[in-house]
Amino acid sequence: MRRTVAPRVPSALRTCRLTACLIATAALLPPLLILPLSGTDDSEDQRLQNAFTDAAREFHVPRSVLMGVSYMQSRWDTHPGAPSVAGGYGPMHLVDTTRDHPSVQSPAPGAPAPDGGRSDPLTGTAFATGGHAVRPADLQRAARLIKAPAKQLRTDAVANVRGGAALLAAAQRHLGKPLSADPDDWWQAVERFPGTRDITSATTYANDVFGLIRRGAHRTTAEGQEVTLPATPGVSAHHGPQAPKRPKEVECPPDLACDWLAAPYEEIDDDGDYGNHDLADRPRDQQIEYIVIHDTESTLPNMFKTVQDPTEASWHYSIRSSDGHITQHVRTKDEAWHSGSKFVNARSIGIEHEGFLAHPGTWYTEQMYRSSARLVRYLAKKYDVPMDRQHIFGHDNVPSPTGDSIPEMHEDPGPFWDWRHYFDLLGAPLKATAGPDSPMVMILPDYATHKPRYTGCDGDGKPCLPHGSSAVRLYTRPDENSPLIQDPGRRPDGDPSTEDVSDLGSRASTGQTFAVADRRGEWTAIWYQGNKAWFKNPAVHPTAVGASGRMVTPREGLDEIPVFGRALPEEEAYPEGMEEEDETPLPYTLRAGQRYVTQSDLGGSYVDRSTFAATPQPVVVGQERYYEIQFGHRLAYVRVDDVDVVDTNPTSTTGTTGTTGTTGTTGSAGSEAVPDAQ
């Protein structure tokens, strides 16, 4: 998608101290709301934790409710002074409705408000219950409630938390409910806090907040604040929302609000050109094996215009940043034009997330992550897609179909997409499956504290603000002063790799698994595009963990083997009269002694998607099989007949797509998996 540079995020986080009048307020609180004063802990990294305690005391809101709402709004990140796409600020994501933000609760063009609700584009008025219209967490109103300038709530985390607490208390009073110490009494106030337009999304939001309160949470925020929400197991569980009324074309789990905005399948001119997707009959004619995660690099209203243009690309789903609302454009049985590879398009579902890869804190919201995870779990179960990083991957991991296409492949969602958190929400946590000396490793840095240098977020060569990242940087030697690994396909002119946020040539990403090529002190080398690639992996703060599974290596007697960007059928499989698709290897070398991780094998296939037709074109299926491998930052394919398999997990099953060597395919007690629909 088109690159757009978002506004620069200021680096300073300004905080303020609450006044001594809070002490006098304590006597008025019910016994269960009595909390320790924050003045006993002045450490810099506890200021946000203290702000929650103080605001809960001041406004008679249970601290667990205040912290649960804030986590669901921002994961407690502050993003000082930087608005989200919806115009939300701070850890409470308070929306400044006086400013122009193109995606503030914007519905799909022509789409009715879900569940029969009415939508005011300025106030975000949503469904009404008991005669009370729902408003978003309004920053201006919060400022009036706490008698502070609106500017302060945009830049000061403590004032922002106070404003959020004041809004919750005001909502509770408006509902005619007491400022109770029991979190269960605050369900309706929580349900209304984000200003969601439909009852389904509001109920799902509240369920997520109270589920978090039951489990508890701890996180180091993007600003380095240590925040802990103690578990409250006794908080009641609520029933899931009723399945909403939705267009018959929509394919979504029942606990998500989803709309339909069709991508056109139509001829463009008299020469036979058409757009913007292809008819298919999946999974009958072609198995769906992949789910591709994109970001839009534009606001969602612009993307809605794009997907309705038959001369442009298409994708199956769009997810709004502000509240995670989903709009479907192409039936999953049909093939959208989204990945840059016809081969991957034929086997995948594409999901666009409103955002910019260079500005994750502004755009990748918690509600978007959670809606996306619910949708992907639903689709993965429906189509039997393994929940690992060789089947659920980013646009930046799509294999280049040919050598010529490598420089044109996309970079989104980029190094700031939190894959570890995303797979936790999927219920498939990424974790070690072998000891630290295993011949395989999974890239798994601690997202919050792992902050490699990046440039180019706000202009060529300019340093990006420090931010958590899912990617590790790869060097030619075990030394951070050595040159970065170079991708000869991406930079055929020989230019070196850089630290630019969009330069994938020397990166490996969270959840990707690689064969170990060497170890030296705090450094680990992996086989990467035919070379040893080194990354720093200290024992105290590891950036990778041991993994088990299968690896492939050139068959005994072969010095090197070709690597492909797609798995095509053999010549004999094509019917008479159909021209064979040219199968050319990628410009890389896989030599004897090198190993690459595989998590599935698959048969070659091809479908001619070049003619406008009323029915799907036939799929050519071959007998030759391939292994999909993690070859570099992107995936690739090698012929089964060219390799031997090395299995580090003897108890695993072999020879079946998606059943061997997969990691983290089930949830764990510590995961944040979003609940299945009731």
How far apart CA 157 and CA 169 sit, in angstroms, is 18
Q: Residue 212: left if φ>0, alpha if ψ -120 to 50, beta else—which one? A: alpha
Residue 602 to residues 62, 210, 394, 627, 655, Cα–Cα distance (Å): 53, 42, 20, 6, 9
Strand pairing partners for 128? 133
Helix orientation angle between 47-59 and 157-174, rounded to the nearest 10 degrees: 30
Chain-centroid distance of CA 92 in Å reads 20
Q: Are 78 and 185 in contact (CB under 8 A)?
A: no
Q: For position 130, what pLDDT does the model report?
A: 37
Q: What single DSSP character describes residue 518?
A: E
How far apart CA 423 and CA 445 sit, in angstroms, is 14
Q: For position 12, what pLDDT does the model report?
A: 34
Q: For position 200, what pLDDT does the model report?
A: 87
| Residue ranges, the chain, pLDDT below 50 | 2-41, 104-105, 110-133, 652-670, 678
Q: For position 100, what pLDDT does the model report?
A: 59
Q: For position 348, what pLDDT does the model report?
A: 98
By C-alpha distance, which of 190, 184, 182 is closest to 137?
190
Helix (H) or strand (E) holding 366, with range, is helix 366-383
Strands (E), 298-385: 317-319, 326-328, 335-336, 348-353
Domain annotation for the chain: domains and CATH numbers: 21-229 (1.10.530)
By C-alpha distance, which of 147, 117, 121 is closest to 129?
117
**Burial label, 216 (beta-carbon count in 10 A; 0-12, 13-18, 19+):** middle
How far apart CA 615 and CA 92 sit, in angstroms, is 50
**Burial label, 520 (beta-carbon count in 10 A; 0-12, 13-18, 19+):** exposed
Q: For position 351, what pLDDT does the model report?
A: 98
Chain-centroid distance of CA 531 in Å reads 29
Strand pairing partners for 544? 443
Q: Residue 661: left if φ>0, alpha if ψ -120 to 50, beta else—which one? A: left
Half-sphere exposure of 469 (CA within 13 A, CB side): 22
Strand pairing class (317-319; 348-353): parallel
Q: Of how many residues is the chain composed?
A: 678
Q: For position 664, what pLDDT does the model report?
A: 34
